[in-house]
Amino acid sequence: DSGVTQTPKHLITATGQRVTLRCSPRSGDLSVYWYQQSLDQGLQFLIQYYNGEERAKGNILERFSAQQFPDLHSELNLSSLELGDSALYFCASSGYSNSYNEQFFGPGTRLTVL
Amino acid sequence: AQKVTQAQTEISVVEKEDVTLDCVYETRDTTYYLFWYKQPPSGELVFLIRRNSFDEQNEISGRYSWNFQKSTSSFNFTITASQVVDSAVYFCALSERNAGNMLTFGGGTRLMVKP
């Protein structure tokens, strides 16, 4: 158990809908990262927050947004969902915002868009 | 831009065999960090090791060992005396000091250990 929690574990929805994925980092970790794992794209970095502020952005679509709240939990919002958004979404956390810090991953949220 | 290549998409071995998973990376940064993660069938990503670009010492942890060679831009992972519980997808990843904190992952190697 990495100490990172994600809810829900599974999510099934329809095209055009909007969903919110939630992540609670390990106790004391200030950085939260979101990754998407799909069959065709592999594991891709989406976005990072550090202590409430956006720190880095990767291949995140404009239909996706995220935020980190004062209690350090984070939410990833996916809107106008398409079939291709079906994937496993991971949240990870680390103590600081340095590239040498290992990131600990949550169990993931499996999103299925029908 | 950084890139990680795991040329072996799938490896199958019989229990107790040794197996090496290859990882080749590309980076322009002089300071970078390499990682290995394990993804068992249950789906979570488990951190195994971190290595920084200034430390080329090999590392051994039980049946696991890692060989980092800057000259060939490789960070290979060897499992000695493999066990069925080692069956998983293994990912090599890279982060660069000057490119933020994102991890760039390789495509993964699926290891199947048969009894």
Summarised one tens digit per residue, pLDDT across range A65-101 is 999 999 999 999 999 999 999 999 999 999 866 656 7
- Predicted pLDDT at B101: 78
- Predicted pLDDT at B57: 84
Please say whether the beta carbons of B111 and B91 come within 8 A: no
Partner residue facing B105 (CB), from A42, A99, A110: A42
Report the C-alpha gap between B37 and B106 in whole angstroms.
Answer: 10
Q: Round the average pLDDT of chain B to a whole number and report it.
A: 94
For the cut 60, the answer to whether the pLDDT of residue A15 exceeds it is yes
CB contact under 8 A, B43 and A35: no
Residue B37 contacts A where some CB pair is shorter than 8 Å? yes
Min Cα–Cα distance to chain B from A2, Å: 8
Q: Which residues, other chains included, contact A51 with Cβ-Cβ below 8 Å and sequence gap of 6+?
A: A30, A31, A68, A72
Burial status of residue B23 (CB atoms within 10 A of its CB: 0-12, 13-18, 19 or more): buried
Average pLDDT over residues A10-38: 96
Partner residue facing B103 (CB), from A55, A103, A108: A103
Residue B101 contacts A where some CB pair is shorter than 8 Å? yes
For the cut 70, the answer to whether the pLDDT of residue B63 exceeds it is yes
The interface residues of chain A toward chain B in range 59-78, judged by CB-CB distance below 8 A, are: none
Residue A98 contacts B where some CB pair is shorter than 8 Å? yes
Burial status of residue B66 (CB atoms within 10 A of its CB: 0-12, 13-18, 19 or more): buried
